[in-house]
Amino acid sequence: MLTFNQYFDKNSDLRHLANPNQKALDSVFDLISLERKNKKSGYYELPFEQKALQESHAYVKEKQFFLDSVKNIVIIGIGGSSLGLKAIDGLLSHLPARKKIQLAFLEHTDPIEIQKSLYNIHIKDSLFIIISKSGTTIETSSLMKYVIHRYGLFESFEKKSHLLFITDEDSPLYLLGKKEQVSTVGISKNIGGRFSVLSAVGVLPLMLLGYDVERLLEGAAEFEKNFFERKEEHLLKKAIFLAKNRDRFPINILFSYSSVFKDFNSWYVQLWGESLGKFDIYGKKVGLTPISLIGSIDQHSFLQLIAQGLMDKTITFLSIHQAKYIEPKIPDISFEYLGCTDFVNGASFAKLLNVQQIATMETIQNEGIPTDHIELEELCETNVGKLIIYFELLTSCVGGIFNINSYDQPGVELGKIRLREIFKILSKA
């Protein structure tokens, strides 16, 4: 179960904005319902369709003998092709069903990171998964070339069994996979990379790692169904508050109270930033700047700025219900000169972290800064599926209010064009 608490109205100056009228709620809901009906993005259908599950099961059945020997899975992809998968594995890797498979990511063209990521990776017990909507993203294509060359993956049919492509149907990478007889799974072109984790992009690798992907999708489906049955109105209220206050509060902070959220925070930053930083239909630049923090660590770096810096931020706290984590505990030990710290003696570290989060949240609220809080009762596939679709729907709602296309990234494409131009100039020099 997830609980959602909003405290936007703690500041009396914001109360009229924190509680939009029914007409405003209906307007945003109708906008998103129409977007879903018109299939503006295919992510709305992912929790309910069987395609990813069926193709993933088919791949596992066909390659079962080989997969039994796999000790390393290397994901070659960037941005939406890797962040969602990394986020979910980071949240769920403590589960007993998680297989003892090392998961490595090749995302970066940094030569030091490439060598580090592939250290002790041998072809005999490794599966290399190339994930890209087209295959033409320069980081992914360059890293793919390097891996294929380094391990001779195109040299024989046996070596090709160590490769898997996940890409858009009929994309250049899809066509290459079919030509070279590499196992290839296609996804709909109508699913943007940063919204793709509930497709085969995430489902197939997560299945290989041992997770119950059916429960992941069921959790997402349950939350989305409730949203479109008007049982999750808090999401609409939050979207309206953030969008209508974008000039006053242009920065949105996700303050997550557990280190397991580190990669999830990175997924959120890409989802939020790349979806909402756009020209609107009137040619005006709009957007909300995402920042990710981990508590309690970042209380000692960023909290000062939040509490007494410019009042231009909203904060979403994300945490796990700590009652079940009774170990380890802080020993009941006293040291001379350090007696002021003894008030936590005997308490669990989970309790300390929980109280730190409460104290931080109340400190921020007392400064009149808008906050809300999402708490997961436990970290399991069902709840993670709900969390993923919650942030995707929230992004769509804010983008709809902004009058933008939340699903393209023209600014990123401009950077890719400029990269090609510079390389051509340098090659002639």
Do 78 and 107 form a contact (C-beta atoms < 8 A)?
yes
Could you give the CA distance from residue 292 to residue 81 in angstroms, rounded to a whole number?
A: 20
Do 173 and 211 form a contact (C-beta atoms < 8 A)?
no
Write the DSSP string, 10-72.
GSGGGHHHHS--HHHHHHHHHHHHHHHHTTSSGGGGTTT-SHHHHHHHHHHHHTHHHHTT--E
Tokens 């939050």 belong to 238
Residue of 68, 55, 388 lying closest to 217 (CA atoms): 388
Give the neighbor-by-neighbor strand order of the sheet with 251-256: 2-6, 371-376, 313-320, 251-256, 289-294
- Among 55, 274, 375, 381, the active-site one is 274
Q: What is the largest CA-CA distance in the chain?
A: 72
Chain centre to alpha carbon of residue 123 = 29
Write out the two tokens for 279: 């020209």
Sorted by sequence, the CB contacts under 8 Å of residue 284 that are 6+ apart come out as: none
The amino acid at 345: N
Query: Residue 7 gets which letter from DSSP?
Result: -
Sorted by sequence, the CB contacts under 8 Å of residue 148 that are 6+ apart come out as: 154, 163
Write out the two tokens for 355: 């109280």
- Among 37, 100, 179, 300, the active-site one is 300
Could you give the CA distance from residue 406 to residue 307 in angstroms, rounded to a whole number?
A: 31
Q: Where are the alpha helices (DSSP H) in 63-171?
A: 64-67, 83-92, 111-117, 138-151, 157-160
300 is catalytic: yes
Burial zone of 128 (CB within 10 Å; 0-12 exposed, 13-18 middle, 19+ buried): buried
In the beta sheet, which residues pair with residue 185?
A: 166
Do 74 and 106 form a contact (C-beta atoms < 8 A)?
yes
Could you give the CA distance from residue 241 to residue 235 in angstroms, rounded to a whole number?
A: 10
Provide the Cα torsion 423, 425, 426, 429; round to 10°: 160
- Among 362, 413, 416, 421, the active-site one is 416
Could you give the CA distance from residue 216 to residue 56 in angstroms, rounded to a whole number?
A: 14
Could you give the CA distance from residue 96 to residue 280 in angstroms, rounded to a whole number?
A: 46
Active site residues: 274, 300, 416
